[in-house]
Structure 1
Amino acid sequence: MSWLVLQAICSVIGWYSLYATLCQLNRTHGYEWNCRLVTLTHGILIICLSAYVGFIDGPWPFTHPGSPNTSLQVQVLCLSLGYFIFDMCWCVYFQTEGAVMLAHHMLSTLGIIMALALGESATEVNAVIFGSEITNPILQARWFLREIGQYRTLAGDMVDFFFVVLYTGVRIGVGAWLLYCELMSPKPLWIVKFGGVAMYVVSWLFMIKIIKFTWRRSREKYQMWKKRSTFVQDSVTNGHLKVQ
Protein backbone atom coordinates (compact mmCIF):
# COMPACT_ATOMS: atom_id res chain seq x y z
CA MET A 1 0.00 0.00 0.00
CA SER A 2 2.85 2.40 0.78
CA TRP A 3 4.18 1.82 -2.74
CA LEU A 4 0.79 2.73 -4.21
CA VAL A 5 0.67 5.92 -2.15
CA LEU A 6 4.18 6.82 -3.32
CA GLN A 7 3.20 6.30 -6.97
CA ALA A 8 0.11 8.48 -6.54
CA ILE A 9 2.13 11.24 -4.83
CA CYS A 10 4.74 11.14 -7.60
CA SER A 11 1.93 11.39 -10.15
CA VAL A 12 0.46 14.47 -8.46
CA ILE A 13 3.92 16.09 -8.36
CA GLY A 14 4.47 15.20 -12.01
CA TRP A 15 1.21 16.74 -13.23
CA TYR A 16 1.69 19.84 -11.09
CA SER A 17 5.26 20.19 -12.39
CA LEU A 18 3.99 20.03 -15.96
CA TYR A 19 1.41 22.72 -15.14
CA ALA A 20 4.01 24.96 -13.46
CA THR A 21 6.36 24.54 -16.44
CA LEU A 22 3.62 25.47 -18.90
CA CYS A 23 2.76 28.54 -16.82
CA GLN A 24 6.38 29.66 -17.08
CA LEU A 25 6.58 28.98 -20.81
CA ASN A 26 3.14 30.43 -21.66
CA ARG A 27 3.06 33.58 -19.57
CA THR A 28 0.97 35.34 -22.20
CA HIS A 29 -1.90 32.92 -21.53
CA GLY A 30 -3.98 32.55 -18.38
CA TYR A 31 -3.91 29.80 -15.79
CA GLU A 32 -6.88 27.99 -17.30
CA TRP A 33 -5.19 27.82 -20.71
CA ASN A 34 -2.20 26.00 -19.19
CA CYS A 35 -4.38 23.79 -17.01
CA ARG A 36 -6.33 22.71 -20.09
CA LEU A 37 -3.07 21.87 -21.83
CA VAL A 38 -2.34 19.53 -18.91
CA THR A 39 -5.87 18.13 -19.21
CA LEU A 40 -5.37 17.58 -22.94
CA THR A 41 -2.05 15.83 -22.30
CA HIS A 42 -3.61 13.56 -19.70
CA GLY A 43 -6.56 12.82 -21.95
CA ILE A 44 -4.46 11.73 -24.93
CA LEU A 45 -2.01 9.77 -22.77
CA ILE A 46 -4.62 7.96 -20.70
CA ILE A 47 -6.76 7.09 -23.73
CA CYS A 48 -3.80 5.30 -25.30
CA LEU A 49 -2.70 3.59 -22.07
CA SER A 50 -6.15 2.53 -20.90
CA ALA A 51 -7.04 1.28 -24.40
CA TYR A 52 -3.94 -0.91 -24.42
CA VAL A 53 -4.50 -2.13 -20.87
CA GLY A 54 -8.19 -2.85 -21.31
CA PHE A 55 -8.46 -4.12 -24.86
CA ILE A 56 -5.03 -5.59 -25.69
CA ASP A 57 -3.21 -6.56 -22.49
CA GLY A 58 -6.47 -7.62 -20.81
CA PRO A 59 -8.45 -8.96 -19.17
CA TRP A 60 -11.54 -7.96 -21.16
CA PRO A 61 -13.69 -5.68 -18.93
CA PHE A 62 -17.02 -6.97 -20.26
CA THR A 63 -16.30 -10.59 -19.38
CA HIS A 64 -13.94 -10.33 -16.40
CA PRO A 65 -15.19 -7.58 -14.06
CA GLY A 66 -13.88 -7.94 -10.54
CA SER A 67 -10.62 -9.53 -11.68
CA PRO A 68 -7.43 -9.07 -9.61
CA ASN A 69 -5.44 -5.99 -10.55
CA THR A 70 -2.43 -6.39 -12.83
CA SER A 71 0.75 -4.36 -12.31
CA LEU A 72 0.16 -2.44 -15.54
CA GLN A 73 -3.41 -1.58 -14.52
CA VAL A 74 -2.14 -0.30 -11.18
CA GLN A 75 0.45 1.95 -12.82
CA VAL A 76 -2.10 3.44 -15.21
CA LEU A 77 -4.59 4.03 -12.39
CA CYS A 78 -1.94 5.71 -10.22
CA LEU A 79 -0.97 7.97 -13.11
CA SER A 80 -4.60 8.97 -13.63
CA LEU A 81 -5.26 9.32 -9.90
CA GLY A 82 -2.51 11.91 -9.60
CA TYR A 83 -4.06 13.92 -12.41
CA PHE A 84 -7.59 13.83 -10.95
CA ILE A 85 -6.30 14.97 -7.55
CA PHE A 86 -4.37 17.82 -9.17
CA ASP A 87 -7.25 18.89 -11.42
CA MET A 88 -9.87 18.70 -8.68
CA CYS A 89 -7.73 20.87 -6.39
CA TRP A 90 -7.21 23.34 -9.26
CA CYS A 91 -10.94 23.50 -10.01
CA VAL A 92 -11.85 24.01 -6.34
CA TYR A 93 -9.20 26.71 -5.90
CA PHE A 94 -10.16 28.68 -9.03
CA GLN A 95 -13.89 27.78 -8.78
CA THR A 96 -14.17 27.15 -12.52
CA GLU A 97 -16.45 24.09 -12.55
CA GLY A 98 -19.99 23.33 -11.47
CA ALA A 99 -21.30 20.65 -9.12
CA VAL A 100 -21.72 17.97 -11.82
CA MET A 101 -18.12 18.22 -13.02
CA LEU A 102 -16.79 18.22 -9.46
CA ALA A 103 -18.94 15.15 -8.73
CA HIS A 104 -17.43 13.45 -11.77
CA HIS A 105 -13.91 14.23 -10.55
CA MET A 106 -14.74 13.05 -7.04
CA LEU A 107 -16.26 9.78 -8.23
CA SER A 108 -13.33 9.14 -10.56
CA THR A 109 -10.87 9.73 -7.72
CA LEU A 110 -12.78 7.55 -5.26
CA GLY A 111 -13.27 4.83 -7.87
CA ILE A 112 -9.54 4.62 -8.56
CA ILE A 113 -8.68 4.64 -4.86
CA MET A 114 -11.25 1.90 -4.23
CA ALA A 115 -9.85 -0.35 -6.97
CA LEU A 116 -6.29 0.17 -5.74
CA ALA A 117 -7.24 -0.47 -2.10
CA LEU A 118 -9.28 -3.60 -2.88
CA GLY A 119 -6.68 -5.02 -5.24
CA GLU A 120 -9.39 -5.88 -7.76
CA SER A 121 -11.83 -4.37 -10.28
CA ALA A 122 -9.15 -2.24 -11.94
CA THR A 123 -10.32 -3.89 -15.17
CA GLU A 124 -13.68 -2.15 -15.23
CA VAL A 125 -12.43 1.05 -13.56
CA ASN A 126 -9.82 1.36 -16.30
CA ALA A 127 -12.56 0.87 -18.91
CA VAL A 128 -14.66 3.60 -17.28
CA ILE A 129 -11.69 5.98 -17.37
CA PHE A 130 -11.19 5.19 -21.06
CA GLY A 131 -14.84 5.94 -21.78
CA SER A 132 -14.75 9.13 -19.72
CA GLU A 133 -11.58 10.48 -21.30
CA ILE A 134 -12.21 9.57 -24.93
CA THR A 135 -14.20 12.79 -25.43
CA ASN A 136 -11.72 14.87 -23.46
CA PRO A 137 -9.42 15.98 -26.34
CA ILE A 138 -12.45 17.08 -28.36
CA LEU A 139 -13.83 19.00 -25.38
CA GLN A 140 -10.51 20.79 -24.92
CA ALA A 141 -10.30 21.55 -28.64
CA ARG A 142 -13.73 23.18 -28.37
CA TRP A 143 -12.52 25.39 -25.51
CA PHE A 144 -9.36 26.43 -27.35
CA LEU A 145 -11.37 27.26 -30.48
CA ARG A 146 -13.57 29.54 -28.39
CA GLU A 147 -10.52 31.25 -26.90
CA ILE A 148 -8.98 32.04 -30.29
CA GLY A 149 -12.29 33.10 -31.81
CA GLN A 150 -12.66 30.17 -34.21
CA TYR A 151 -15.55 28.34 -32.59
CA ARG A 152 -18.25 29.80 -34.91
CA THR A 153 -16.63 28.13 -37.90
CA LEU A 154 -16.78 24.77 -39.65
CA ALA A 155 -14.08 23.52 -37.27
CA GLY A 156 -16.31 24.33 -34.30
CA ASP A 157 -19.27 22.55 -35.90
CA MET A 158 -17.14 19.44 -36.56
CA VAL A 159 -15.84 19.42 -33.00
CA ASP A 160 -19.37 19.66 -31.58
CA PHE A 161 -20.62 16.91 -33.91
CA PHE A 162 -17.88 14.42 -33.03
CA PHE A 163 -18.20 15.23 -29.33
CA VAL A 164 -21.94 14.48 -29.31
CA VAL A 165 -21.50 11.29 -31.35
CA LEU A 166 -18.62 9.98 -29.21
CA TYR A 167 -20.27 10.88 -25.93
CA THR A 168 -23.59 9.30 -26.86
CA GLY A 169 -22.06 6.20 -28.40
CA VAL A 170 -19.33 5.47 -25.86
CA ARG A 171 -20.31 6.93 -22.49
CA ILE A 172 -24.04 6.29 -22.82
CA GLY A 173 -24.24 3.33 -25.22
CA VAL A 174 -21.13 1.28 -24.41
CA GLY A 175 -21.29 2.51 -20.82
CA ALA A 176 -24.73 0.94 -20.42
CA TRP A 177 -23.38 -2.39 -21.70
CA LEU A 178 -20.43 -2.25 -19.29
CA LEU A 179 -22.71 -1.38 -16.37
CA TYR A 180 -25.01 -4.29 -17.23
CA CYS A 181 -22.06 -6.71 -17.28
CA GLU A 182 -20.87 -5.28 -13.96
CA LEU A 183 -24.25 -5.66 -12.26
CA MET A 184 -24.88 -9.16 -13.64
CA SER A 185 -21.47 -10.53 -12.65
CA PRO A 186 -21.24 -12.13 -9.17
CA LYS A 187 -17.55 -11.24 -8.76
CA PRO A 188 -17.43 -7.45 -8.17
CA LEU A 189 -18.23 -6.23 -4.66
CA TRP A 190 -21.45 -4.30 -4.10
CA ILE A 191 -19.53 -1.07 -3.48
CA VAL A 192 -17.91 -1.37 -6.91
CA LYS A 193 -21.31 -1.89 -8.51
CA PHE A 194 -22.70 1.10 -6.63
CA GLY A 195 -19.81 3.22 -7.91
CA GLY A 196 -20.55 2.09 -11.46
CA VAL A 197 -24.18 3.13 -11.13
CA ALA A 198 -23.16 6.51 -9.69
CA MET A 199 -20.75 7.18 -12.57
CA TYR A 200 -23.40 6.27 -15.13
CA VAL A 201 -25.91 8.60 -13.46
CA VAL A 202 -23.37 11.43 -13.70
CA SER A 203 -22.87 10.59 -17.38
CA TRP A 204 -26.62 11.01 -17.92
CA LEU A 205 -26.59 14.35 -16.10
CA PHE A 206 -24.01 15.50 -18.63
CA MET A 207 -26.09 13.93 -21.41
CA ILE A 208 -29.11 16.02 -20.45
CA LYS A 209 -26.98 19.15 -20.74
CA ILE A 210 -25.67 17.98 -24.10
CA ILE A 211 -29.20 17.39 -25.41
CA LYS A 212 -30.21 20.90 -24.36
CA PHE A 213 -27.08 22.35 -25.97
CA THR A 214 -27.64 20.39 -29.20
CA TRP A 215 -31.25 21.57 -29.43
CA ARG A 216 -30.27 25.20 -28.81
CA ARG A 217 -27.38 25.01 -31.31
CA SER A 218 -29.61 23.40 -33.95
CA ARG A 219 -32.18 26.17 -33.56
CA GLU A 220 -29.47 28.80 -33.94
CA LYS A 221 -28.21 27.13 -37.11
CA TYR A 222 -31.74 26.89 -38.48
CA GLN A 223 -32.45 30.57 -37.78
CA MET A 224 -29.19 31.58 -39.47
CA TRP A 225 -30.02 29.45 -42.51
CA LYS A 226 -33.55 30.87 -42.63
CA LYS A 227 -32.28 34.47 -42.50
CA ARG A 228 -29.72 33.76 -45.20
CA SER A 229 -32.34 32.15 -47.44
CA THR A 230 -34.74 35.06 -46.93
CA PHE A 231 -31.99 37.57 -47.73
CA VAL A 232 -31.11 35.78 -50.97
CA GLN A 233 -34.76 35.58 -52.05
CA ASP A 234 -35.32 39.28 -51.32
CA SER A 235 -32.12 40.38 -53.08
CA VAL A 236 -32.08 38.27 -56.24
CA THR A 237 -34.66 37.81 -59.02
CA ASN A 238 -33.90 35.53 -61.98
CA GLY A 239 -30.22 35.62 -61.16
CA HIS A 240 -30.01 39.43 -61.04
CA LEU A 241 -29.99 41.80 -58.10
CA LYS A 242 -33.27 43.58 -57.53
CA VAL A 243 -33.26 47.24 -58.38
CA GLN A 244 -35.01 49.22 -55.67
Structure 2
Amino acid sequence: MLDLAGASAVVTGGASGLGEATARRLAAGGATVVVADKNEERGAQVAADIKGIFVATDVTDEAQVQAAVDAAAAAAPLRALVACAGTGYAARTVGRDGTPHPLAPFEFIVKLNLIGTFNAVRIAAAAMAKNDPQNDNERGAIVCTASVAAFDGQIGQAAYGASKAAVAGMTLPIARDLSAVGVRVNTIAPGTMDTALFDMAPQAVKDTLGAAVLFPKRMGVPEEFASLAYELLTNSYMNAEVIRLDGGIRFQPK
Protein backbone atom coordinates (compact mmCIF):
# COMPACT_ATOMS: atom_id res chain seq x y z
CA MET A 1 0.00 0.00 0.00
CA LEU A 2 1.52 3.31 -1.08
CA ASP A 3 1.24 5.73 1.84
CA LEU A 4 0.36 9.23 0.65
CA ALA A 5 -0.04 10.77 4.10
CA GLY A 6 2.68 13.35 4.50
CA ALA A 7 3.60 13.11 0.80
CA SER A 8 2.90 15.56 -2.00
CA ALA A 9 0.89 15.07 -5.18
CA VAL A 10 0.45 16.94 -8.44
CA VAL A 11 -2.93 17.04 -10.19
CA THR A 12 -2.92 18.59 -13.64
CA GLY A 13 -6.26 20.08 -14.60
CA GLY A 14 -6.90 20.27 -10.87
CA ALA A 15 -9.01 23.43 -10.95
CA SER A 16 -12.22 21.75 -12.09
CA GLY A 17 -14.04 18.55 -12.91
CA LEU A 18 -12.20 15.26 -12.56
CA GLY A 19 -9.00 16.98 -11.48
CA GLU A 20 -10.64 19.06 -8.77
CA ALA A 21 -12.42 16.04 -7.29
CA THR A 22 -9.15 14.11 -7.32
CA ALA A 23 -7.22 16.95 -5.68
CA ARG A 24 -9.80 17.08 -2.89
CA ARG A 25 -9.64 13.29 -2.42
CA LEU A 26 -5.87 13.31 -2.21
CA ALA A 27 -5.91 16.14 0.32
CA ALA A 28 -8.44 14.21 2.40
CA GLY A 29 -5.95 11.33 2.39
CA GLY A 30 -3.25 13.50 3.92
CA ALA A 31 -1.31 14.60 0.84
CA THR A 32 -0.17 18.13 0.09
CA VAL A 33 -1.62 18.74 -3.37
CA VAL A 34 -0.27 20.98 -6.08
CA VAL A 35 -3.18 22.12 -8.25
CA ALA A 36 -1.59 22.59 -11.67
CA ASP A 37 -3.94 24.40 -14.03
CA LYS A 38 -4.18 27.33 -16.45
CA ASN A 39 -7.25 28.72 -14.64
CA GLU A 40 -5.55 30.87 -12.03
CA GLU A 41 -8.64 32.14 -10.20
CA ARG A 42 -10.35 28.78 -9.84
CA GLY A 43 -7.10 26.89 -9.29
CA ALA A 44 -6.06 29.19 -6.46
CA GLN A 45 -9.47 28.78 -4.84
CA VAL A 46 -9.32 24.97 -4.95
CA ALA A 47 -5.78 25.03 -3.56
CA ALA A 48 -6.88 27.32 -0.73
CA ASP A 49 -9.84 25.05 0.06
CA ILE A 50 -7.61 21.99 0.47
CA LYS A 51 -4.61 23.78 2.00
CA GLY A 52 -2.61 22.95 -1.08
CA ILE A 53 -0.49 24.89 -3.55
CA PHE A 54 -1.53 26.42 -6.86
CA VAL A 55 0.92 26.63 -9.74
CA ALA A 56 -0.23 28.13 -13.05
CA THR A 57 0.53 25.36 -15.51
CA ASP A 58 0.21 24.74 -19.22
CA VAL A 59 1.00 21.02 -19.40
CA THR A 60 2.57 21.41 -22.84
CA ASP A 61 5.17 23.80 -21.40
CA GLU A 62 8.23 22.05 -19.97
CA ALA A 63 9.23 24.86 -17.62
CA GLN A 64 5.75 25.28 -16.16
CA VAL A 65 5.34 21.56 -15.49
CA GLN A 66 8.80 21.49 -13.94
CA ALA A 67 7.79 24.39 -11.68
CA ALA A 68 4.69 22.50 -10.51
CA VAL A 69 6.72 19.37 -9.77
CA ASP A 70 9.41 21.38 -8.00
CA ALA A 71 6.78 23.08 -5.82
CA ALA A 72 5.40 19.68 -4.82
CA ALA A 73 8.80 18.16 -4.11
CA ALA A 74 9.76 21.19 -2.01
CA ALA A 75 6.68 20.67 0.17
CA ALA A 76 7.07 16.91 0.72
CA PRO A 77 8.28 13.85 -1.21
CA LEU A 78 6.34 13.72 -4.48
CA ARG A 79 4.66 10.33 -4.59
CA ALA A 80 1.58 10.87 -6.77
CA LEU A 81 0.65 12.42 -10.12
CA VAL A 82 -2.82 12.42 -11.61
CA ALA A 83 -2.85 13.82 -15.13
CA CYS A 84 -6.32 15.18 -15.86
CA ALA A 85 -5.56 18.20 -18.06
CA GLY A 86 -7.15 17.90 -21.50
CA THR A 87 -10.08 18.83 -23.67
CA GLY A 88 -12.19 17.64 -26.59
CA TYR A 89 -12.90 18.62 -30.17
CA ALA A 90 -15.41 17.40 -32.73
CA ALA A 91 -15.11 17.50 -36.52
CA ARG A 92 -15.60 14.95 -39.26
CA THR A 93 -12.60 13.84 -41.29
CA VAL A 94 -14.45 15.22 -44.30
CA GLY A 95 -17.19 17.68 -43.44
CA ARG A 96 -20.69 17.69 -44.83
CA ASP A 97 -19.63 20.52 -47.13
CA GLY A 98 -16.73 18.46 -48.48
CA THR A 99 -13.93 20.26 -46.64
CA PRO A 100 -11.24 18.22 -44.89
CA HIS A 101 -10.82 18.21 -41.12
CA PRO A 102 -8.69 21.26 -40.22
CA LEU A 103 -5.20 20.19 -39.25
CA ALA A 104 -4.50 22.81 -36.57
CA PRO A 105 -7.13 21.61 -34.06
CA PHE A 106 -6.06 18.00 -34.58
CA GLU A 107 -2.51 19.00 -33.73
CA PHE A 108 -3.72 21.03 -30.73
CA ILE A 109 -5.74 18.14 -29.26
CA VAL A 110 -2.85 15.69 -29.66
CA LYS A 111 -0.42 18.20 -28.15
CA LEU A 112 -2.62 18.90 -25.12
CA ASN A 113 -4.10 15.49 -24.39
CA LEU A 114 -1.17 13.26 -25.34
CA ILE A 115 2.04 15.28 -25.29
CA GLY A 116 0.86 17.28 -22.26
CA THR A 117 0.16 14.06 -20.38
CA PHE A 118 3.55 12.58 -21.26
CA ASN A 119 5.28 15.83 -20.34
CA ALA A 120 3.77 15.69 -16.85
CA VAL A 121 4.49 11.98 -16.47
CA ARG A 122 8.16 12.16 -17.43
CA ILE A 123 8.95 15.17 -15.23
CA ALA A 124 7.02 13.88 -12.21
CA ALA A 125 8.52 10.41 -12.55
CA ALA A 126 12.04 11.85 -12.56
CA ALA A 127 11.29 13.54 -9.24
CA MET A 128 9.71 10.39 -7.79
CA ALA A 129 12.80 8.38 -8.70
CA LYS A 130 14.76 10.40 -6.12
CA ASN A 131 12.44 9.42 -3.25
CA ASP A 132 13.37 7.02 -0.51
CA PRO A 133 11.46 3.80 -1.24
CA GLN A 134 8.54 2.52 0.79
CA ASN A 135 7.52 -1.16 0.96
CA ASP A 136 8.28 -3.17 -2.19
CA ASN A 137 10.82 -0.46 -3.13
CA GLU A 138 7.90 1.71 -4.22
CA ARG A 139 8.65 5.40 -4.77
CA GLY A 140 5.45 6.71 -6.34
CA ALA A 141 2.46 6.17 -8.60
CA ILE A 142 0.87 7.86 -11.59
CA VAL A 143 -2.65 7.90 -12.99
CA CYS A 144 -3.32 9.16 -16.51
CA THR A 145 -6.68 10.01 -18.04
CA ALA A 146 -7.84 8.50 -21.33
CA SER A 147 -11.48 8.09 -22.41
CA VAL A 148 -13.77 5.37 -23.69
CA ALA A 149 -13.45 7.29 -26.96
CA ALA A 150 -10.06 5.61 -27.17
CA PHE A 151 -11.94 2.39 -27.93
CA ASP A 152 -15.42 3.49 -29.10
CA GLY A 153 -14.65 6.80 -30.79
CA GLN A 154 -17.75 8.35 -32.30
CA ILE A 155 -18.26 10.26 -35.54
CA GLY A 156 -16.30 13.49 -35.27
CA GLN A 157 -13.91 12.18 -32.61
CA ALA A 158 -10.87 11.42 -34.76
CA ALA A 159 -8.64 13.91 -32.94
CA TYR A 160 -9.97 13.21 -29.46
CA GLY A 161 -10.08 9.45 -29.94
CA ALA A 162 -6.55 9.37 -31.35
CA SER A 163 -5.14 11.39 -28.45
CA LYS A 164 -6.84 9.27 -25.82
CA ALA A 165 -6.00 5.97 -27.54
CA ALA A 166 -2.38 7.04 -27.46
CA VAL A 167 -2.58 7.75 -23.71
CA ALA A 168 -3.99 4.26 -23.21
CA GLY A 169 -1.36 2.81 -25.52
CA MET A 170 1.60 4.35 -23.72
CA THR A 171 0.49 3.11 -20.29
CA LEU A 172 2.16 -0.30 -20.49
CA PRO A 173 5.48 0.81 -21.99
CA ILE A 174 5.79 3.66 -19.48
CA ALA A 175 4.93 1.28 -16.62
CA ARG A 176 7.65 -1.04 -17.90
CA ASP A 177 10.12 1.86 -18.10
CA LEU A 178 9.34 3.12 -14.62
CA SER A 179 9.43 -0.29 -12.94
CA ALA A 180 13.19 0.26 -12.74
CA VAL A 181 12.68 3.20 -10.37
CA GLY A 182 9.73 1.83 -8.39
CA VAL A 183 6.95 3.92 -9.93
CA ARG A 184 3.61 2.43 -11.05
CA VAL A 185 1.43 3.77 -13.88
CA ASN A 186 -2.26 3.19 -14.56
CA THR A 187 -4.84 4.92 -16.74
CA ILE A 188 -8.55 5.57 -16.27
CA ALA A 189 -10.78 5.72 -19.34
CA PRO A 190 -13.95 7.56 -18.22
CA GLY A 191 -17.27 7.42 -20.02
CA THR A 192 -19.77 10.27 -19.95
CA MET A 193 -18.95 12.28 -16.83
CA ASP A 194 -21.05 15.14 -15.44
CA THR A 195 -18.37 17.84 -15.37
CA ALA A 196 -18.36 21.57 -16.10
CA LEU A 197 -18.63 20.75 -19.79
CA PHE A 198 -22.30 19.98 -19.15
CA ASP A 199 -23.08 22.80 -16.70
CA MET A 200 -25.20 24.62 -19.28
CA ALA A 201 -26.76 21.49 -20.74
CA PRO A 202 -30.48 20.93 -20.09
CA GLN A 203 -31.32 18.05 -17.80
CA ALA A 204 -32.98 16.34 -20.79
CA VAL A 205 -29.59 16.15 -22.51
CA LYS A 206 -27.98 14.61 -19.42
CA ASP A 207 -30.86 12.16 -19.15
CA THR A 208 -30.34 11.10 -22.75
CA LEU A 209 -26.64 10.53 -22.17
CA GLY A 210 -27.37 8.63 -18.98
CA ALA A 211 -29.91 6.42 -20.71
CA ALA A 212 -27.16 4.99 -22.93
CA VAL A 213 -25.29 3.70 -19.86
CA LEU A 214 -25.78 0.02 -19.10
CA PHE A 215 -26.19 0.57 -15.33
CA PRO A 216 -26.64 2.77 -13.42
CA LYS A 217 -28.55 4.82 -15.98
CA ARG A 218 -26.90 8.16 -15.36
CA MET A 219 -23.73 10.06 -16.11
CA GLY A 220 -20.72 9.48 -13.91
CA VAL A 221 -19.67 12.08 -11.36
CA PRO A 222 -16.14 13.38 -10.70
CA GLU A 223 -16.06 11.87 -7.21
CA GLU A 224 -16.29 8.40 -8.76
CA PHE A 225 -13.25 9.14 -10.88
CA ALA A 226 -11.42 10.49 -7.82
CA SER A 227 -12.23 7.35 -5.84
CA LEU A 228 -10.77 5.10 -8.52
CA ALA A 229 -7.73 7.33 -8.98
CA TYR A 230 -7.01 7.14 -5.25
CA GLU A 231 -7.31 3.35 -5.27
CA LEU A 232 -4.96 3.07 -8.24
CA LEU A 233 -2.43 5.31 -6.53
CA THR A 234 -2.46 3.52 -3.20
CA ASN A 235 -2.99 -0.12 -4.20
CA SER A 236 0.55 -1.34 -4.77
CA TYR A 237 -0.45 -4.28 -6.96
CA MET A 238 -2.26 -2.16 -9.54
CA ASN A 239 0.11 -1.47 -12.40
CA ALA A 240 0.09 -1.03 -16.19
CA GLU A 241 -3.72 -1.18 -16.45
CA VAL A 242 -6.23 0.85 -18.45
CA ILE A 243 -9.56 0.73 -16.64
CA ARG A 244 -12.87 1.84 -18.13
CA LEU A 245 -15.00 3.85 -15.70
CA ASP A 246 -18.18 4.05 -17.69
CA GLY A 247 -21.11 2.13 -16.18
CA GLY A 248 -20.80 -0.38 -19.04
CA ILE A 249 -21.51 2.10 -21.83
CA ARG A 250 -20.37 1.32 -25.37
CA PHE A 251 -20.48 4.38 -27.62
CA GLN A 252 -22.48 4.04 -30.81
CA PRO A 253 -21.24 5.79 -33.98
CA LYS A 254 -23.19 8.94 -33.00
TM over 0.5: no
Which structure has the highest helix share of the two? 1
The TM-score with structure 2 as length reference comes to: 0.28
The TM-score with structure 1 as length reference comes to: 0.28
Which structure has the highest strand share of the two? 2
**Max Rg structure:** 1
